Amino acid sequence: MRTSFHFLLVTLLVFLFTYDRVNAASGDTTTVRVHTATDLTWFGAYTEWGVFPDQSTPWKAITLDFTVGCASGGCSDWDYDVDVELGRPTGVMDSTIASIDTVSTAPLVLDTTWNAPYEVIEWYQVGRMITPYGGYMAQGQYGFSNAWTHEYSWDITDFAPLLVDSIPIRIFYHGWSSGFSGTCDFTFVEGRPQREVLGIQNVWSGGNYSDFAQFDAAHTPERTINLPAGTQEAELKVIVTGHGQSGEFTPIDYGVFAQNGIEIGREEIWDTTCSMASIYPQGGTWIYPRANWCPGEDVPVHTFDLTPYIEQGPSGPFVRADIDFQDYTPTDGANYSIASQVVAFEASLRHYDLVVVDIIAPSQAERNTRWNPTCGSPIIEVKNNGSEILTYLKVEYGVKVGESWFYEWEGSLAPGVTEEIMLPTFDWEGIVGDGSDTFFVHFSRPNRLVEQFPYDNYASTPVELTDNYIDGNINVKFQPNNQPQENSYLVRNAAGDTILHMPSFTSSNVNNQYLTLNPGCYEFIFTDQDQALLGGEGGDGLSWWVNLQNNLETSGYVEFRATAGNSMLKRFQSDFGGGFRYFFTVGQGMTSLPNEWPPFPPSLPPVTEVEHFGETYYRVNDSVYISENRVVVSQNGLVGIEDLQGNMIQAYPNPAKDVLYLESSLEAASRQWSLVNNLGQVVREGLANAGRQEINVKSLTEGMYVLRLEGKDNVSEIKVLIE
């Protein structure tokens, strides 16, 4: 039985419309462009002012798409770091000296001429990327040209307070030759944010490193960071890359600590994935592991939760934090470029909020070239943007009109964390790939309940066809270089079954493997693993200029040829780094899966719409009521819901491990407390006492809970984390 895509689409639109009645503007988008292919031709700052929306509209999400291309004069053949920064005018005026003339020497009298005064700008770095070695773009080789572009996408929602009215946007280019270009596109999604940002402040920045003591004293000392009144959550963001010969090629780590030396988290400043960069081949030493960066890729932002370490002082909340780099002695120059901010938030708003971060496959985005085009399993990156641990998701996906496929994901995804989900493959038959076919994915029913902000849990992308071979008689012809022990390959079908596996080869001998493939989708996976490479990590392909120039390796190749007649079907790029994947079909275009039908939609608890004081709620499990901005757990309907926004209870410690203490400012008489898990189940309950009350939580499962205090005509609740 096939499910009607039209019916499901209408159902989805009706569902979205009901949410629009709560907040008609939720999900609307506003875009702002600042910098349009701005030439980055020499080391320094390139600044343009942008006009952004005022503060009258709340933004649920803000994304910066940063597009890099060649400068008008062509691309540079070197890898440079590029920082994108938001400017905050401080209101402080300053000036610089234009000239100094000596009027007299005895006494000394100077005539100083000052340049025009200017307003001091504080800069906040929101993203960093490394340019690729652009020689092939400049020379028009290997399919590249000066028209080449590559897009990087960064979630900058937490910088919302800075993106107001007219502000400067700076691209800082650390290059010493021309050049590249940069374009900044900001997208604002309307709706209340998951966490209202109360403040953001820069903390540490880096520089030269000779040893731990010198670097720590100059750049990363312990700091006491004052937070705005009302701060309930806080987070540290860190971008760090190593430069200079030792800084670039020495793997070290750093730790983030709270008061009394409590370690919050630790990250290694080392990236071993450069040989699988999305931009390949490149003319430089792009395959080497490096200190948290790869040529052509963006730099990760590491986050550390400071919420459990917030303290209260006479002047308000504060947090004591420290960042310590590993102690080592560089044998050559080393420096570390750091950008870090502490962000202060109100408490999280939504319990259940899903975001489709990316459709990795199928995709036409350059950042996903290693996986595409595909005829196999879709790969989706999802973020748990809610405050509850995510244990279940309903996934609907497909391409063909009139047919949807379903998958039930189960796992444990913590708040704020993203995960790649590989969906079961589906029926691709009939797809023509002319731009009219679109793959879509829709996430819903988190933890079998209701998604609170359904405007960013759906995404779609055009489908690109794979290579197709009518005849399934194919010869995999492989000529190894002089290091055949580095190579292996396999061929598998759409069901994941291995058709051919070749784990080893003999040097300089041509290897022919003849396949007879039935109609269907297949994947060819070729790997190169070079233990002699820097750090013993990554691969150098079958032909790399460094190896050829230094007589370290010879050249090899791999091809698909027709068994009959030996004609060339496909010759693969030999400079591919650590490996490549190649999807192809056999038969008449995209083919169907044998004996496979779309599964039925999963059976889930029904959702009932309820109106209360002009707000739409969805009732699930007979006791859980969910609206766009609230989750209410009640056994007696929506009693006292109008009082939920003002919490009148305190719970501590939070997180709790063995014992949780409850205190209330309300009269205790006739009041009932209950502790409810994320499925709406009451796991502890009792009558409230006056003053402080002890609740034993030692045997409870780790996760987020709701502590509720109910009276005759009002309710108060607070979220608590059990560790």
Instruction: Report the pLDDT averaged over residues 652-659.
Output: 81
Please, which pLDDT band fits residue 642 given cuts at 50, 70 and 90? Answer: very low
Q: Which two tokens stand for residue 67?
A: 């597009």
Q: Which residue has the higher pLDDT, 526 or 424?
A: 526
Q: Cβ contacts of residue 416 below 8 Å, gap of 6+?
A: 303, 383, 384, 385
Instruction: Report the pLDDT averaged over residues 136-163.
Output: 95
Q: Which two tokens stand for residue 183?
A: 């374009």
Listed range (74-83, 128-137, 608-617, 661-670) with the worst mean pLDDT: 661-670
Instruction: Report the pLDDT averaged over residues 288-317.
Output: 94
Please, which pLDDT band fits residue 589 given cuts at 50, 70 and 90? Answer: low
For residues 717 and 692, is the Cβ–Cβ distance under 8 A?
Answer: no
Q: What is the largest CA-CA distance in the chain?
A: 101
For residues 453 and 424, is the Cβ–Cβ distance under 8 A?
Answer: no
Which pLDDT does position 594 carry in this prediction? Answer: 53
pLDDT over 90 (residue 661): no
Which pLDDT does position 671 carry in this prediction? Answer: 73
Please, which pLDDT band fits residue 593 given cuts at 50, 70 and 90? Answer: low
Element of type H or E holding 493: strand 487-493
Identical fold between 194-349 and 471-586: no
Listed range (289-298, 423-432, 555-564) with the worst mean pLDDT: 423-432
pLDDT over 80 (residue 632): no
The CA distance from 289 to 480, in Å, is 24
pLDDT over 60 (residue 18): no
Instruction: Report the pLDDT averaged over residues 488-517.
Output: 92
Q: Which residue has the higher pLDDT, 135 or 98?
A: 135
21-30, 151-160, 604-613 — most confident range: 151-160
What is the rounded radius of gyration, in angstroms, for the C-alpha atoms of the chain?
29
User: Which fold, 471-586?
Assistant: Lipoxygenase-1 (2.60.60)
Element of type H or E holding 440: strand 438-444
With tokens 């009394």, the residue in question is 260
In the chain, the amino acid numbered 441 is: V
pLDDT over 70 (residue 591): no
Please say whether the structural domain 608-722 has been given the CATH code 2.60.40.3080: yes
pLDDT over 90 (residue 563): yes
pLDDT tens digits along 396-422:
999 876 788 999 999 999 999 999 999
Q: Which residue has the higher pLDDT, 607 or 95?
A: 607
The CA angle 396-402-408, to the nearest 5 degrees, is 15
Listed range (45-59, 82-96, 119-133, 255-269) with the worst mean pLDDT: 82-96
Instruction: Report the pLDDT averaged over residues 352-368.
Output: 93
Listed range (193-207, 242-256, 321-335, 707-721) with the worst mean pLDDT: 707-721
Q: Which two tokens stand for residue 704?
A: 């987020």
Percent of the chain at pLDDT > 90 equals 64
Considering the four listed CATH numbers 3.40.50.720, 1.20.1280.50, 2.60.120.230, 3.30.70.1060, the one that applies to the domain covering 194-349 is: 2.60.120.230
pLDDT over 60 (residue 10): no
DSSP characters for 514-579?
EEE--SEEEEEEEEE--TTSGGG-S---S--HHHHHTTS----EEEEEETTT--EEEE--S--TTE
List the chain domain ranges: 194-349, 354-465, 471-586, 608-722
- CA-nearest of 653, 618, 693, 623 to 19 is 618
Which pLDDT does position 115 carry in this prediction? Answer: 75
Instruction: Report the pLDDT averaged over residues 26-50.
Output: 94
pLDDT over 80 (residue 648): no
- CA-nearest of 477, 466, 475 to 582 is 466
pLDDT over 90 (residue 708): no
Average pLDDT, the chain: 87
Which pLDDT does position 204 carry in this prediction? Answer: 96
pLDDT over 80 (residue 107): no
Instruction: Report the pLDDT averaged over residues 320-346.
Output: 96
Please, which pLDDT band fits residue 471 given cuts at 50, 70 and 90? Answer: very high
Please, which pLDDT band fits residue 597 given cuts at 50, 70 and 90? Answer: low
Percent composition of the chain: helix, strand, coil (DSSP 3-state, to 5): 10, 45, 45
Q: Which CATH architecture has domain 354-465?
A: Sandwich (2.60)
Q: 3-state DSSP call for residue 191?
A: coil
- Report the 10 Å Cβ neighbour count for 21: 11
Q: 3-state DSSP call for residue 437?
A: coil
pLDDT tens digits along 253-278:
999 999 888 999 999 999 999 999 99
Listed range (154-168, 206-220, 631-645) with the worst mean pLDDT: 631-645
Please, which pLDDT band fits residue 431 given cuts at 50, 70 and 90? Answer: confident
Instruction: Report the pLDDT averaged over residues 48-57.
Output: 90
Percent of the chain at pLDDT > 70 equals 89
Q: Which two tokens stand for residue 75?
A: 């691309």
The CA distance from 350 to 632, in Å, is 11
pLDDT over 50 (residue 203): yes
Listed range (213-217, 557-561, 639-643) with the worst mean pLDDT: 639-643
The CA distance from 344 to 234, in Å, is 5
Which pLDDT does position 688 carry in this prediction? Answer: 80
The CA distance from 163 to 52, in Å, is 6
Which pLDDT does position 670 carry in this prediction? Answer: 52
Please, which pLDDT band fits residue 26 given cuts at 50, 70 and 90? Answer: confident
Which pLDDT does position 404 carry in this prediction? Answer: 87
Residue 116 is classified by DSSP as P
The CA angle 440-446-448, to the nearest 5 degrees, is 115
Which pLDDT does position 48 carry in this prediction? Answer: 96
The CA-atom distances, in angstroms, between 647 and each of 467, 644, 654 are 60, 7, 15
